């Protein structure tokens, strides 16, 4: 019986391999965020750890970011404005407010 299966059978979640965590730091800014993604979502996704993070990487490659502004002072922006800008540069997506 594999260690991963023993963990699942005993109710413990499989721990994410550190090498996989390290490989995701270019997309996700902190190790804790990567581990949390696996602990909260990945372990029940039906995908293994490599497949899950490969899927995340593939999804990210298909999305364009809005351009970053060079601000000289703080600016407040409504969440809807950010969402609209994101949808504008990614045809085919819609806002959560869309029918």
pLDDT at residue 4 tops 70: no
* Strand, coil or helix: 84: helix
The most distant pair of C-alpha atoms in the chain lies apart, rounded to whole Å, by 58
28/96: higher pLDDT:
28
- Kindly report the pTM of this predicted structure: 0.63
Pairwise CA distance, residues 38 & 49, whole Å: 7
pLDDT tens for each residue of 18-75: 999 999 999 999 999 999 999 888 878 889 999 999 999 998 898 887 777 677 888 8
Q: In 3D, which of 4, 5, 30, 26 has the Cα closest to residue 15?
A: 4
Under the banding of pLDDT at 50, 70 and 90, the label for residue 94 is confident
pLDDT for 8: 47
Identify the pLDDT of residue 44: 83
Contact between 93 and 84 under an 8 Å Cβ cutoff? The reply is no
Q: What angle do CA 64, 74, 24 make, to 5 degrees?
A: 40
Inform me whether the pLDDT recorded for 7 exceeds 70: no
Distance CA 54, CA 24 (A): 9
């Amino acid at each position: 019986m594999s260690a991963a299966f023993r963990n699942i059978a005993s109710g413990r979640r499989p721990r994410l391999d550190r090498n996989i965590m390290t490989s995701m730091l270019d997309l996700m800014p902190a190790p804790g965020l990567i581990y949390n993604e696996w602990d909260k979502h990945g372990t029940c996704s039906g995908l293994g750890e490599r497949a899950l993070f490969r899927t995340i990487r593939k999804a990210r490659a298909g999305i364009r970011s809005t351009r970053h502004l060079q601000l000289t002072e703080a600016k407040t922006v409504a969440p809807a404005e950010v969402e609209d800008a994101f949808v504008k540069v990614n045809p085919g997506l819609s806002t959560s407010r869309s029918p």
